[in-house]
Structure 1
Amino acid sequence: MSSFLLFLQGHEGRYTIYVHASREKPEHVSPLFVGRDIHSEKVTWGKISMVDAERRLLANALQDSDNQHFVLLSDSCVPLHNFDYVYDYLMETNLSFIDCFYDPGPHGNFRYSKNMLPEVRESDFRKGSQWFSVKRQHALMIVADSLYYNKFKHHCRPGMEDGRNCYADEHYLPTLFYMMDPGGIANWSVTHVDWSEGKWHPKAYRAKDVTYELLKNITVCAWFILWFLRKWLLRTLAYGME
């Protein structure tokens, strides 16, 4: 049984699942995901299609009026706390958890294009993780936005002028929330990642990396709470549950 099956077991009726899937029929191991697919056009890493996928998932989830908080996770995320702990915290908070920070370097504001003016100034351009947790009012704001979305659709993409690369999934939501409701977000994501390897993608945890000390160091944090760990390999998950 996977970690998420254990995480959700016994809490039916308190959550709904939406899976972003390709047009090809996916193969689901868990019955939790059967019939929960939201099909779409092809999604390409680094392009606006990733934001489109997020908005499509939110739009479908918003159709259920019982859904009051929305968490976007990847298939390599595992929970760090039990369901009740995560559920109670997210349902009781008045904040959304959007990673949002100013990065003056080559992987931050260097990606900004003046073509975003006058709606988006360089001083408002922000960066953050694409994985988030948002309250219902913020999910509605994301789905309803067209002004800022179109700026990022046309002026934040790989292979821009001067050889710059801009990735909308890293900048659109942080910038949108910084401009629209900076006091309504916590400025950090719901997931822990390790970027110490200095690569395009975070460290992938393997069985040999999973120790009590690792989990303790992640969950006992003096500054903020994290609910999920990314990026665990499937073989690591199986090993950890034995």
Structure 2
Amino acid sequence: MNINESFDLVFYLNLATDQNARFSMEARLRELGVSAERFPTINGDSIRPRYVSNKETDIRWQYARYLTIRLALREARRRGARSVCFLEDDLIFHPNFKEIIKTIHLPEDWGIFCFGCDHQVAPDWIEGRIVRLRKAMFSHAFAVRGRDINRLLKFIRAASVRGADYGMDRILSETQDTIRAYGCFPNLASPPAYQPKKNGKYQGEYSNNGVQRFRVNELSDILERMATNRIDLVPGQTSLNAVKKVGFLFLTKGDLNHPEIWREYFSGYEDRVVVLSHPKYPKHVKSSVLTDTIIDQLIETRWGEVSLVRATRNLLSNALEIDDISHFILLSESCVPIQSLGTLLKRLSLDSRSRFRYGGYSRGTPIQKSRAQRIREIPERCWVFQPQWWLMDRKMALFAGLPDFTHLFEDVVASDEMYFGSVLTYQGIPLEGNVVNQPITWTWWEHDAGSPSAWTTLESSRHGRGILEDMVNSGAFFARKFPPGADIGKYGLHHES
């Protein structure tokens, strides 16, 4: 989709007294390559109380928006526009909006199309990023087809006669059984997370990342359909992420440091586990845990280089070919489990979402930011920094693992600590609501250290018992780094309680 080619008229709505918002919006539109005409917003403070039943300032501004859009629709009709698009001047666009919008195509029978909304009822997935709206609230970024302008104006007049509140969000939601309404999924545009109110500000229906804050569980099936391109999934019954088998993906130098711990960990759950490995030195693999697990697509890896991401993608690609695997866990040879496999499976049965610690660009260290700045193709707000080790459910693994963006990361040091979270966001797949922001693997970093601490014995370390307590109370399922001979096994943390 090209905004200006798809819609005859593009209006951005702006209050005459808010020149800062006008200049800011015009700058954003230039960045997106969108040409838009300013349409003046009616000032809510100028609305006389007799025109609204409630004298609250918020209601008067709500009525002002209603009047503004009604006038803009009439203007589009007067000009004979085949379609008209409305954009609020405080709109938050997805950071990769310019590229993602190119992948979207308007359905032939569309009447209303929105670029982001708050779904009151789960929509129907159509194809790609397109959903058919069933009951969705929006008025900040949407388009109306010319032939449906009169029908929408009738809804607006009827709402006025009924004495319903004049919120355009509600009016538009009521049209969706009559006018074919579609939208982007996930959202590509949203109002600010914090919106003005008479006595300060309140948190609205959207997060800072444009993700709706309520009724999110109803939307999980939509991403599953997108990930597999399958429309036949039955909502809530055939979830891709129902816990079937867990794929343990070992990215190692050679053999596991503690194969005896892993044998005990997997014991009794052999039918729930698939193990795959990518060793740097395959001849060093001797333990029964990793024998017969080595994938065919081995590549030479070097610390800090994108080759580690490519090796990880090869592991993930092989695992995704096994339909029974619902969750994927990336681990190294120095990792050991610090909770039982039964506990992991139970936790995933209660909450099947992906898990890894992540943070956006603003939370990155100076080194991380400088590395990210080397890749100009990825917008700043798309950057996500995360540990190398993660747990992903199948739908997120499909989005993260199938498209190959490694060519962008050729010259970036430690790209494995930013690749997967960043490419998900770059594709418009929100981590918020889909990833539990918690580490799955415990590590201990000394100040200014280039790598996490390795532990031969915990009791005799200068940190003493505090390290063990920190580890078991972390909530992580695994821990590292434990070299061969480390006494971590004596604590039996991996055993069933």
The offset of 1:11, in angstroms, is 1.3
1:94 aligns with 2:94: no
Query: CA deviation digits over 1:86-124, x for unaligned, max 9?
Result: 12213442321132113343222121236423xx21232
Q: In the aligned structure 1, how far is the partner of 2:291 from the partner of 2:383?
A: 39
Greater Rg over alpha carbons, structure: 2
Residue type of the partner of 2:266? Answer: L
Aligned match of 2:369 in 109, 115, 132? Answer: 109
Gaps of 5+ in 1: 158-165
User: Which residue of structure 2 lines up, in the alignment, with residue 123 of structure 1?
Assistant: 381
- The 3 A distance-change label for structure 1 pair 197 and 115 is closer
Q: In the aligned structure 2, how far is the partner of 1:172 from the partner of 1:45?
A: 15
| Residue correspondence of structure 1 range 184-199 to structure 2 within 5 A | 184-199=434-449
- The 3 A distance-change label for structure 1 pair 212 and 112 is closer
- The 3 A distance-change label for structure 1 pair 65 and 113 is same
Query: Is contact 1:116–1:151 with CA below 8 Å preserved after alignment?
Result: no
4+ residue runs over 4 A deviation:
210-213
Aligned match of 2:285 in 28, 31, 55? Answer: 28
| Residue correspondence of structure 1 range 140-151 to structure 2 within 5 A | 140-146=398-404, 148-151=405-408
Q: In the comparison of the two structures, how many residue pairs are matched?
A: 225
Residue type of the partner of 2:371? Answer: R
3-state SS in 1 of match to 2:334? coil
- The 3 A distance-change label for structure 1 pair 7 and 114 is closer
Query: Is contact 1:68–1:136 with CA below 8 Å preserved after alignment?
Result: yes
- The 3 A distance-change label for structure 1 pair 211 and 182 is same
Once structures 1 and 2 are overlaid, which stretch shifts more, 8-17 or 180-189? Answer: 180-189
Query: CA deviation digits over 1:119-169, x for unaligned, max 9?
Result: x212322212110000011111122223x443224xx42xxxxxxxx3211
Aligned match of 2:431 in 173, 176, 182? Answer: 182
1:76 aligns with 2:337: no
Query: Is contact 1:2–1:237 with CA below 8 Å preserved after alignment?
Result: no
Residue type of the partner of 1:173? Answer: F
The offset of 1:215, in angstroms, is 3.0
Q: In the aligned structure 1, how far is the partner of 2:340 from the partner of 2:465?
A: 16
Q: Identify the structure with the greater strand proportion.
A: 2
Once structures 1 and 2 are overlaid, which stretch shifts more, 212-221 or 93-102? Answer: 212-221
Q: In the aligned structure 1, how far is the partner of 2:454 from the partner of 2:336?
A: 12
User: Which residue of structure 1 lines up, in the alignment, with residue 294 of structure 2?
Assistant: 37
- The 3 A distance-change label for structure 1 pair 31 and 46 is same
Gaps of 5+ in 2: 1-258, 493-497
TM-score by length of 2: 0.42
3-state SS in 2 of match to 1:88? helix
Q: In the aligned structure 2, how far is the partner of 1:239 from the partner of 1:79?
A: 10
- The 3 A distance-change label for structure 1 pair 114 and 10 is closer
Q: In the aligned structure 1, how far is the partner of 2:287 from the partner of 2:465?
A: 27
Q: In the aligned structure 1, how far is the partner of 2:450 from the partner of 2:289?
A: 31
Query: Is contact 1:19–1:38 with CA below 8 Å preserved after alignment?
Result: yes
Q: In the aligned structure 2, how far is the partner of 1:29 from the partner of 1:238?
A: 21
| Residue correspondence of structure 1 range 204-215 to structure 2 within 5 A | 204-207=454-457, 208-209=460-461, 213-215=466-468
- The 3 A distance-change label for structure 1 pair 173 and 37 is same
Q: Identify the structure with the greater helix proportion.
A: 1
Residue type of the partner of 1:219? Answer: V
Percent identity for Structure 1 against Structure 2: 22
1:218 aligns with 2:471: yes
The offset of 1:197, in angstroms, is 4.3
